[in-house]
Amino acid sequence: MPYRLTIVVPVFNEAENLPRVEAAFLDYFKIASVKAKVLFVNDGSKDESQQIIEKICLTNPDFDFISFDQNYGLSAAIKAGFDYTETELVGYIDSDLQTTPEDFNLLLQHIGDYDLVTGVRAERKDDFVKNMSSTIANNIRRAFTNDGMDDTGCPLKIIKTDYAKRIPMFRGLHRFLPAMILLQHGKIIQVPVKHFPRIAGEANFGVWNRLAGPLMDCFAYLWMKKKYINYSVAKHSNG
């Protein structure tokens, strides 16, 4: 049976979490509603992440990886994962497993009618500062983008690959995935998913990343929206 879904897992210094990621996906593959595979994107990790990734991929045919030559950031890792995906659907989840792969089945129930399905974290298990800064950042983005999404930062999404590959590369990309699908006249929906505390590793985003960074990115998005070009091909020589 051919793969239908590639799940991109960005990795930056997550050696402690990777064995849990492997176990979680081996469990998920048994219940997945479509045949799925994992694509690790190692974003220039300085710990043992690459060695662990290679061991996982060597022993499990449903895992692949690409590895950057240096750290380029989460947006670059996600975009590279989209670019290297060959299946009709592409998903995204963080390697900290604060969301669970099993909830991809919830998102897959809607992907037939929509071009992006994103999770919205119900009963978030983060501390007060992280929750409040994320709430403020989401409100800022929603005001600029009018995407109607309550939790664009939720690290659990499925996108039709044709749409994902047309998303342009830019810093802050991961915060604007629903808005970028809307620019392509695609349809989006959010679905409540489970959320868990971080067990191992360290978060790579602080208050500055969640507030000042997104605000600056919003102005970049407005410029991009004004300049964005859509086109449809009516006819070509190969049919």
Domains of the chain, first to last: 5-227 (3.90.550.10)
pLDDT 10s digits, 172-224 = 778 889 989 999 999 999 999 998 876 665 555 555 555 566 677 777 777 77
**Which of the two residues, 168 and 108, has the higher pLDDT score?**
108
> Could you give the C-alpha distances from 130 to 127, 159, 178, 206, 225, in angstroms and in order?
6, 26, 22, 8, 29
Query: Is the separation of the CB atoms in 176 and 183 below 8 Å?
Result: no
Predicted pLDDT at 7 = 98
Predicted pLDDT at 26 = 98
Residue range 66-77: mean pLDDT, rounded: 95
**Which of the two residues, 129 and 69, has the higher pLDDT score?**
69
Average pLDDT, the chain: 87
Q: What angle do CA 238, 113, 111 make, to 5 degrees?
A: 90
CA 190 to CA 39: how far, in whole Å?
Answer: 23
pLDDT 10s digits, 14-35 = 999 999 999 999 999 999 999 9
Instruction: Centre a 10 Å sphere on the Cβ of residue 187 and count the other Cβ atoms it contains.
Output: 14
* Residue 56 pLDDT greater than 80, yes or no: yes
CA 23 to CA 21: how far, in whole Å?
Answer: 6
